[in-house]
């Protein structure tokens, strides 16, 4: 049944994949337990319908806060999922967003719209509602691909940190035991967003160099909105 501008129209939702990290823990994702049908009682990504007068990102942030209490996160658009069979209620297209946060800085709110809200380790997930398992897998892949060409971790590390701490963070995100130390150092320094801050003090044996993020350069690289896509397009250096 085709339409022009008139009804019927697909319904439009947003979904949020919020990844959380805390020290010496595995990568986690924020899930809600659904309070209503369809999939009542099942775990799902936070999300909901887009209001008529709000932007897509705005809708995603509103739903995230309503359902989980989590706010002030920098989200990026991930992908739009529009398979005709993805929602038992009918045709629903969903624009997915994702973010990576320090979960200790983003407490969840038990008084939210959802029945329960919890952080789950991504290797210990419950069964998810709708096609949310697929959305989550795409987000995990995107996050891991992203660290290949963009630095991450600004919010997730102390002000000054060693390359070993940063490497540990990458290993957690990538879900790998141990990255090659030399390759990691070469590649991460080449991104040009770390500033040397001097050697560790009070360390008896072989103190390590401390680094901090060059906030300005880091933020320029870390944003992935279309304005920045344009900027990134220009500085190609093959």
The binding site for a second copy (CB under 8 A) comprises 1-5, 7-12, 49-56, 77, 79-80, 82-84, 89-93, 95, 134, 137-138, 140-145, 147-149, 170, 174, 176, 179-180, 183-184, 187-188, 226, 229-234, 236-238
Q: How far is the CB of 175 from a second copy (least distance, A)?
A: 9
Burial class of residue 114, CB neighbours in 10 A (0-12, 13-18, 19+): buried
Identity of the residue, 106 or 156, whose beta carbon is nearer to a second copy in the bound complex: 156
Cβ proximity to a second copy: between 32 and 106 the closer is 32
Minimum Å gap between C-beta 67 and a second copy is: 14
Instruction: Give which of 26, 114, 16 is closest to 66, Cα–Cα.
Output: 114
Yes or no: say if 15 and 94 are a contact pair by the CB < 8 Å rule.
Answer: yes
Q: Give the angle subtended at the CA of 210 by the CAs of 205 and 215, to the nearest 5°.
A: 175
Taking CA atoms, 67 is separated from 30, 118, 169, 206, in Å, by 11, 11, 28, 48
Query: How near is the Cβ of 32 to a second copy at its closest, in Å?
Result: 16
Choose between 106 and 128: whose C-beta lies nearer to a second copy: 128
The least CB distance from residue 79 to a second copy, in Å, is: 6
* Residue where the block lists tokens 């957690």: 172
Nearer to a second copy, 2 or 202 (CB): 2
Task: Identify whether the C-beta of residue 161 lies closer than 8 Å to the C-beta of residue 210.
Answer: yes
Min dist. Cβ of residue 104 to a second copy (A): 26
Choose between 56 and 125: whose C-beta lies nearer to a second copy.
56
3-class secondary structure, 183:
helix
């Amino acid at each position: 049944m085709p339409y022009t501008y008139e009804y019927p129209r697909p319904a439009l939702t947003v979904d949020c994949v919020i990844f959380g990290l805390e020290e010496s823990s595995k990568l986690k994702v924020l899930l809600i337990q659904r309070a209503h049908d369809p999939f009542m009682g099942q775990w799902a990504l936070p999300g909901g319908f887009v209001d008529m007068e709000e932007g897509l990102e705005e809708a995603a942030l509103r739903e995230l806060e309503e359902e989980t209490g989590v706010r002030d996160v920098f989200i990026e658009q991930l992908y739009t999922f529009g398979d005709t069979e993805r929602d038992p209620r009918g045709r629903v297209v969903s624009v997915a967003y994702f973010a990576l946060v320090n979960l200790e800085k983003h407490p969840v709110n038990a008084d939210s719209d959802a029945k329960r809200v919890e952080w789950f380790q991504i290797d210990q997930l419950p069964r998810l509602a709708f096609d949310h398992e697929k959305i989550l897998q795409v987000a995990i892949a995107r996050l891991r691909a992203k660290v290949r060409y963009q630095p991450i971790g600004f919010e997730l590390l102390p002000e000054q940190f060693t390359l070993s701490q940063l490497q540990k963070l990458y290993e957690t995100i990538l879900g790998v035991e141990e990255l090659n130390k030399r390759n990691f150092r070469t590649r991460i320094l080449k991104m040009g967003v770390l500033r040397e801050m001097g050697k560790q003090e009070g360390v008896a044996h072989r103190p390590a160099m401390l680094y901090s993020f060059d906030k300005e350069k880091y933020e320029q690289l870390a944003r992935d909105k279309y304005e920045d896509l344009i900027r990134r397009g220009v500085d190609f250096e093959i």
